[in-house]
Structure 1
Amino acid sequence: MAKNPSRALLYARAATRRLCTDAVMTETAAESKVAQSPSSSSSLYRRLSGLGDASSGTVTKTLNKWVREGKSVKKYEIEKYVKELRKYKRYNQALELMEWLESRGTNLSYSDYAIRLDLLSKTKGITEAEKYFTSLSEPAKNHLTYGALLNAYCVEKMLDKAMALLDKMKELNFASTSLIYNNIMSLYMRLHQPEKIPLLFQEMKAEKISPNAFTYNVLMNSYASLKDIEAVERVVEEMKEEGNVCCDWTTHSNLAAIYVEAGNFDKADAALKGLEKTINRRDRQAFHFLISLYAHTCNLAEVKRVWESLKSTFPKTTNLSYLVMLQALAKLGDFNALGKCFEEWELGCVSYDVRLVNVLISSYLRRDMIEEAKSLYESTVVKGPGPNFRTLEMFIEFYLKNDQIDLAKKHFETAVSKAKDDEWQPSQEKVRAFLKHFEESKDVDGAEEFYKKLKKVNCLDLEVYSSLLRTYIAAGKMEPLMRQRMKMDEIKMNSGTEELLGSVCPE
């Protein structure tokens, strides 16, 4: 995989990943009798979905309260809720639902075991998932649970364990589906080893395992990463000739993104025309891909045409649709259209989404329109939830670039005060810019305050301490406790740092 793929290629790869995710969900649920999503009228589901990010045990309490009220809970209903919670990545609550089922003596199906194993890997880690797999009865160690464990290894980039498990699955004849090979292909892409994917594809064909749309899309991406566009085109032709797999909109969008990445905008436009012929007109995401990819081919007219088509197709234009369009206009540099689109969104929006505000703030800052950017920043406090970390980062970057260190520090401190549970860390580039300023201005007090802020967001390392030491040396000051501080912060020193430390904190 290319280490720095464009946003367009990332979008297209996201579509193919979604195909694999859907396949995993389908296969692990194959033996269950879950046919549809829970009804919105279900008061139990409303209670569960209303828990949000509630702490562990809350789901169990809610279910127990429901039962104490004399109401029944069917197994198939819990399975529906688990499926829905997984879709929204509320894995802890989905796992708690399954644990509640087991605590009541409910017999789980083989697909339930696979789903629970998947949830354990996502919430408690691979070790717990492995323990659970080992604890299963021999009949329960089937293609579903083996497949779930393999998927967990692949997600965590554990190549050796994944390949060892694949060999075992081959022995047991559990590796006869495209989903198994798709997982390994995805792993190779994550590990930046695209050259191994064509060989795996040939192995599939030798084993008479039919590739699906995801398989072909990953194969296309592997060739794209190897800069072999002709091979990409051969894959598309093979799909058409085989006839077993439809060249749907995900394939066309993937092909267009690959052409964009290669700088071949004419072929990208042609692929996008093919995409438009295949999309489901009720699928918003397809429109989003078109807008983004046309933006990457620098085709403003097509961006605006698809945007008008999207708005005429759907009765309501969502925040996400506006976000995609604003990003496209910002990329194309159409500042006037950007402003008009933002105003249109503001007038009709139900919820104020700071991500959209950030697009316009970013455009203001790139044009040094600081007053306009600040005004928009302040409106997020009045109209919405306030600035997010991205908002603050943009201002920090602007003020650092313009040597307005006090204002940069102010926004940095705001970001630190908002951060909880390691949810934000500053980029190394921004940290270095601050550290360089303190060194050059011999500002020990400023450096120490900055050190405290970095400690709060768990962002201390040898580079930070080395800069702090150099600042002390430049200012001609000593810090007797520095060696002890470094030990407490678990900083491993090298010879250069030892030399610096000797000048600030002699033994």
Structure 2
Amino acid sequence: MWAFRRASIHLKNRVFSLRGAQIFFPKSEIASCSLGHYNHVFAESEVLIDGLLSSTKFYSTSSSSKLYMAVRTLSSTKFCSTSSSSKLYTAVHTFSSQAGTESGGENGDDLEDGFSELEGPTDATEEALSGDENMDDQLISEVDSAATYTNNAFLEIGTEVDGGEKEYSKTRATSPMTEAILAALPLTIHKVLDKWVEEGKEVTRKEVTSTFLHLRKRKLFLKALKLSEWLKSTKHLDFLERDYASHVDFIAKASSIFQADDYINKIPESFRGEHVYRTLLANCVATTHVKKSEEVFNRMKDLKFPLTTFTCNQLLILYKRTNKKKIADVLLLMEKENIKPSLFTYQLLIDVKGLSKDISGMEQVLETMKAEGLEVDTRIQASLARHYAANGLENKAEAVLKEMEGENIQKNRWVCKTIIPIYASLRRADEVDRLWEVCKSNPGLEECMAAIVAWGKLDRISDAEETFEKMLKMLKKPASKHFSVLLKVYTDRKMIEKGKELVRRMAETCPSIWPSTLDSLVKLYIDAGEVEKAEKILDAAHVRNKGRPMFTSFLAVMDQYANRGDIHNAEKIFQKMRQAGYFSRLQLYQSLVRAYTNAKSPAYGFTERMKADNIYPDKAMSNLLAQVDPFRKTEVDELLG
């Protein structure tokens, strides 16, 4: 999935510039992209290393020096340093050789990552819902990673997790304040809260904490922002840096990262610390806005904030989607600054090795992690099992699953929701049946949803429907996410009429549509040949929910217009995707240029548009660009002079 620099690329060939955000590879094979009769050399934005790695000379015998030498000779597997970063780099240095392989190069990176935007690990059920596909956008849209984000302002107790940070527990029961805000319209929240105080009710941090958690869980960021504004203006709580960081987070999610950045300038300087800026950075990464992310990173460096594992992991997530060759630079930076990789860092790299079909490399990363004394948790085990299954290594996959299951499945029943869909991927219906028997008498919601996914993979539609009906009886108020698992089963099998009937049932009970449900709904109508209807549904849901549809939902519609050669509508969807925050993705441009190709129309200024977005064409994209180059000369043109 991620690709590192190739062996022929040497750091001595690079020219770094402070804040100029440009770096040139005069001898690099990746810089020159053939576009018809001329070559374009794109200047990469490389602000993450400016000033930190501005010198190309390392004479030290430290691990940083050894890592630098390893980067210069990537074809070598010898590496002597004993530091964790050095070992990690050794384990992953072959990623560049995976670029453009079956992992899909740029094509697959946006759709397969299984990690939350703000570094919180994913919930197993969300992974099951994704069907191991489209996981990245599933998580962006549906997992409120900020609920586990350590900058949450109003949370005070929790358990230690990655990098010494805190993960805070969620309160299940809604408080009276939460109920009042949930019942109110966003613009009336100030009045509701004023009335709350007039009635003599207290505003405590504990109650505010509970309210924010429930609002985040429901993705009601505008309401959360209004509550935060009211708390600030009425001074019912004394704002600390974490409170301001939370406010920045709400602005970024309810409005835009640019307005969140503007707000930072209004925060008292004494509270304008690292937590505030890394909250902004994480939101910039979540929107895949490369320029803004690098700008915020550079600002943090200028402000002398310490470089942390969290920050580096954000960069890894960013470059995984936009420019895999920069991943090596992040690891080199971590090595130079002596930043120890976290469990999440290893989880990312294990996943990327698996997705690039480099199983031996994946196992090497795992061994490196173990050597550093980090324990393999359930999420990493699940990733290993999925990648083994996807690469046809059934025995290895089953060995990991049995290890997860343990000796007593009744005691370890909580793993069922994770391993049931993986067994289905292995076509092990007997194992799915065995595990479902453990849950069947008293299943939890997550177990039901995982089972529906599994039945779908095994083409046992009646079992999926039976489990779905059982789940609905357990729910007082079904949400669209509960319908989405069965809808995806119907959509994947092009069961159009059943899908439409399920949508009608959903409309009767669900006030809003979750992004994963919307994604299945859009694809359902596309499969029915009703692309315009799919686009209308996408637009209506986007406006109504005030949320961001999944990347794949937009792309599915855009691809249909591209196949038709409908440039007007393809460009329209392209702009909607940018407005939704999907920046710097090669897939957008690949789909758009296909519209011009199929329309047999020249695309003026296309390479300049890509360059402005820091998009670098791969070989396939270069061939497409050559076809729509308005200044390309044909063989006949050459003959005629």
Q: Which residue of 1 aligns with 2:253?
A: 122
What do residues 121-149 of structure 1 show as CA deviations (whole Å, max 9, x unaligned)?
11221221111212223322222112112
Which of 108, 115, 121 matches 1:19? Answer: 121
Which of 404, 413, 432 matches 1:303? Answer: 432
Displacement of 1:89: 2.1
Is residue 2:354 matched to residue 1:228?
A: no
Q: Which residue of 2 aligns with 1:264?
A: 393
Is residue 2:444 matched to residue 1:317?
A: yes
| Counterparts of 2:407 and 2:215, CA distance in 1 | 30
Q: Which residue of 1 aligns with 2:337?
A: 207
Displacement of 1:343: 5.7
Q: Which residue of 2 aligns with 1:155?
A: 286
| Counterparts of 1:279 and 1:171, CA distance in 2 | 54
Q: Which residue of 1 aligns with 2:269?
A: 138
Displacement of 1:233: 0.9
Is residue 2:163 matched to residue 1:61?
A: no
Is residue 2:453 matched to residue 1:327?
A: yes
| Counterparts of 1:360 and 1:229, CA distance in 2 | 29
Displacement of 1:32: 5.6
| Counterparts of 2:459 and 2:557, CA distance in 1 | 26
Describe the shift of the 1:175–1:281 C-alpha distance in structure 2 as closer, same or farther (beyond 3 A): farther
Query: Counterpart of 1:162 in 2: which secondary structure?
Result: helix
| Counterparts of 2:371 and 2:500, CA distance in 1 | 57
Displacement of 1:215: 1.0
What do residues 64-105 of structure 1 show as CA deviations (whole Å, max 9, x unaligned)?
111111222124532442244224322111111111111113
Contact 1:358–1:390, Cα closer than 8 Å, also in 2: no
What do residues 258-285 of structure 1 show as CA deviations (whole Å, max 9, x unaligned)?
2233333332222223333499989988
Contact 1:34–1:79, Cα closer than 8 Å, also in 2: no
| Counterparts of 1:287 and 1:7, CA distance in 2 | 28
| Counterparts of 2:306 and 2:408, CA distance in 1 | 32
Deviates more, 1:28-37 or 1:408-417: 408-417
Describe the shift of the 1:340–1:173 C-alpha distance in structure 2 as closer, same or farther (beyond 3 A): same
Query: Counterpart of 2:224 in 1: which secondary structure?
Result: helix
Percent identity of paired positions between Structure 1 and Structure 2:
24
Describe the shift of the 1:30–1:462 C-alpha distance in structure 2 as closer, same or farther (beyond 3 A): closer
How many residues get paired? 436
Q: Note the residue ranges of structure 2 that are not aligned, 5 or more in a row.
A: 2-102, 123-143, 159-168, 578-591, 600-627, 631-641
| Counterparts of 2:209 and 2:510, CA distance in 1 | 36
What do residues 12-46 of structure 1 show as CA deviations (whole Å, max 9, x unaligned)?
44599533876984531489635665583732222
Contact 1:240–1:247, Cα closer than 8 Å, also in 2: yes
1:302-451 matches, cutoff 5 A: 302-311=431-440, 315-318=442-445, 320-335=446-461, 337-338=463-464, 340-342=466-468, 344-345=470-471, 353-355=482-484, 357-358=486-487, 361-362=490-491, 365=494, 396=525, 399-400=528-529, 421=543, 427-428=557-558
Deviates more, 1:38-47 or 1:289-298: 38-47
Displacement of 1:247: 0.9
Structure 1 residue identity aligned to 2:290: L
Structure 2 residue identity aligned to 1:306: L
Structure 2 residue identity aligned to 1:260: A
Q: Which residue of 2 aligns with 1:251?
A: 380
Query: Counterpart of 1:18 in 2: which secondary structure?
Result: coil
Describe the shift of the 1:158–1:279 C-alpha distance in structure 2 as closer, same or farther (beyond 3 A): farther
| Counterparts of 2:251 and 2:497, CA distance in 1 | 49
Contact 2:178–2:214, Cα closer than 8 Å, also in 1: no
Root-mean-square deviation (CA, aligned residues, Å) is 4.8
| Counterparts of 1:310 and 1:7, CA distance in 2 | 34
Deviates more, 1:39-48 or 1:325-334: 39-48
| Counterparts of 2:542 and 2:248, CA distance in 1 | 29
| Counterparts of 1:357 and 1:199, CA distance in 2 | 42
* Greater share of helix: 1
Contact 2:225–2:247, Cα closer than 8 Å, also in 1: yes
Describe the shift of the 1:218–1:136 C-alpha distance in structure 2 as closer, same or farther (beyond 3 A): same
| Counterparts of 2:407 and 2:272, CA distance in 1 | 40
| Counterparts of 1:112 and 1:376, CA distance in 2 | 42
TM-score (norm 1): 0.69
1:60-99 matches, cutoff 5 A: 60-99=190-229
Query: Counterpart of 2:543 in 1: which secondary structure?
Result: coil
Describe the shift of the 1:40–1:374 C-alpha distance in structure 2 as closer, same or farther (beyond 3 A): closer
Q: Which residue of 2 aligns with 1:505?
A: none
Describe the shift of the 1:274–1:197 C-alpha distance in structure 2 as closer, same or farther (beyond 3 A): farther
Structure 2 residue identity aligned to 1:93: K
Structure 2 residue identity aligned to 1:19: P
Contact 2:147–2:216, Cα closer than 8 Å, also in 1: no
Deviates more, 1:275-284 or 1:356-365: 275-284
Contact 2:251–2:259, Cα closer than 8 Å, also in 1: yes
Is residue 2:149 matched to residue 1:47?
A: no
| Counterparts of 2:509 and 2:250, CA distance in 1 | 37
Q: Note the residue ranges of structure 1 that are not aligned, 5 or more in a row.
A: 401-407, 437-450, 469-493, 497-507
Query: Counterpart of 2:215 in 1: which secondary structure?
Result: helix
Displacement of 1:202: 4.4
Q: Which residue of 1 aligns with 2:297?
A: 166
Contact 2:313–2:345, Cα closer than 8 Å, also in 1: yes
Contact 1:47–1:62, Cα closer than 8 Å, also in 2: yes
